[in-house]
Amino acid sequence: MRVNVVLECTECKHRNYHTEKNKKNDPDRLELRKYCKFCGRHTLHKETK
């Protein structure tokens, strides 16, 4: 049930983080506020394909 996902910064479009999610509990795309080293601050990161 767990799948690997990649998180992309919504501001600079860099793909910074790799994580896992449970498809059964989270069928929608993940959205997390994470630190982006390219922007130098916390930004919204969304799951990519």
Beta strands in the chain (DSSP E): 2-9, 15-22, 31-36, 41-47
For the domain made up of 2-48, the CATH class stated in words is mainly beta
pLDDT in tens, the chain (49 residues): 899 999 999 999 999 999 999 999 999 999 999 999 999 999 999 999 8
Q: What is the pLDDT of residue 30?
A: 94
